[in-house]
């Protein structure tokens, strides 16, 4: 039997409806979700409601009315990760013993650019933190660079397809040799530069990122990885950064803002390893 759709107020009170929505969304999206019913809507001037032409106004109404909508609030990073899995998400509402589950399929919105900018501009948790030899990455995402000027275009005729082909070749080696989940190219020195400024390596865990750092210090890599690093990154020292952000957030960074992010990251370097457990000095 197909379930029928009925007005929410005929079955559940507002608090119970919101609790079901929040629980179902949280389980499906893997992040804390807050929901509320709207009680106002914006009317563009001249389109009903008696507003003067050319002016807009807000009309207030009960959350029980058909024109009420539901507002979902979640962390930007959780939304970005969810959209990587697919444009739609399946949600099950009411999984208790005394409830009949209802399955919904929702289309996920894109992450608002303002939220991505806010992540990049955070000063509470620096987006980048400089890593020097012997210290520990703080995040499973690693940024390598700035890379040398012309590091890509000096070796191949640039096009979008050639850049993607190179990224795929490098990603294959990184996955096989250092257990990176994927790599991306991010940043530009200026709008006309065709050479990415950084290589962004995303590891499956913090332990995997730290193992990469240790092997980098010791130079204990397979020859295949050494060759591709030497060919494209070079043998000169290059910056290493522990990155708190996903690539989707870094895409909104303008070329002029990278310098400020690196300066801030240099003020908050990655820490050295702590003392082994059990070796602390007695008080």
Contact 224, 176 (CB under 8 A): yes
Instruction: Name the pairing type of β-strands 57-60 and 70-74.
Output: unpaired
Average pLDDT, the chain: 80
272: tokens are 């050295």
Cα separation of 159 and 110, whole Å? Answer: 27
| Position 36 pLDDT exceeds 90 | no
> Nearest-CA neighbor of 143 among 198, 71, 99?
198
Token pair 């009680």 in the structure block, residue: 39
- How far apart, in whole angstroms, are the C-alpha atoms of residue 279 and residue 264? 33
Domain boundaries, the chain: 8-49+57-110, 114-267
Residue 150: pLDDT band with limits 50, 70, 90: very high
Average pLDDT in the 130-145 region? 96
pLDDT tens readout for residues 52-66: 556 777 676 666 666
Statement: the pTM of the whole predicted model exceeds 0.85: no
Q: With 60 as the cut, is the pLDDT of residue 108 above it?
A: yes
What does the pLDDT look like over 228-251, one tens digit per residue? 999 999 999 999 999 998 888 888
pLDDT digits (tens, 9 = 90+) for 154-186: 999 889 999 999 999 999 999 999 999 999 999
Assign 33 a pLDDT band (cuts: 50, 70, 90): confident
pLDDT tier for residue 266 given thresholds of 50, 70 and 90: very high
pLDDT, residue 258, reads: 92
Cis peptide before 108 (omega within 30 of 0): no
Name which residue leads in pLDDT, 189 or 104.
189
Range of 18-22, 66-70, 204-208 with top mean pLDDT: 204-208
């Amino acid at each position: 039997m197909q379930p029928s759709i009925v007005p929410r107020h005929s079955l559940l009170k507002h608090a119970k409806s919101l609790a079901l929505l929040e629980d179902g969304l949280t389980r499906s999206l893997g992040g804390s979700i807050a929901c509320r019913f709207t009680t106002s809507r914006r009317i563009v001037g001249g389109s009903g409601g008696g507003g003067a032409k050319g002016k807009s106004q807000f009309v207030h109404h009960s959350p029980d009315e058909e024109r009420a909508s539901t507002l979902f609030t979640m962390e930007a990073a959780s939304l970005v990760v969810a959209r990587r899995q697919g444009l739609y998400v399946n949600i099950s509402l009411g999984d208790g013993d005394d409830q009949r589950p209802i399955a919904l399929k929702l289309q996920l919105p894109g992450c608002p650019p303002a939220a991505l900018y806010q992540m990049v501009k955070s000063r509470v948790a620096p987006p980048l933190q400089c890593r020097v030899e012997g210290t520990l990455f703080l995040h499973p995402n690693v940024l390598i660079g700035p890379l040398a000027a012309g590091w890509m275009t000096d070796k191949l005729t640039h096009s979008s397809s050639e850049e993607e082909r190179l990224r795929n070749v490098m990603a294959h080696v990184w996955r096989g040799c250092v257990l990176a989940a994927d790599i991306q190219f991010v940043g530009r020195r200026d709008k006309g530069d065709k050479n990415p400024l950084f290589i962004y390596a995303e590891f499956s865990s913090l332990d995997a990122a730290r193992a990469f750092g240790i092997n980098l210090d010791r130079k204990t890599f397979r020859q295949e990885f050494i060759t591709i690093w030497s060919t494209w990154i070079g043998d000169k020292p290059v910056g290493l950064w522990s990155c708190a952000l996903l690539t989707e957030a870094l895409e909104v960074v303008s070329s002029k803002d990278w310098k400020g992010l690196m300066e801030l990251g240099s003020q908050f370097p990655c820490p050295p390893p702590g003392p082994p457990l059990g070796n602390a000095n007695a008080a």
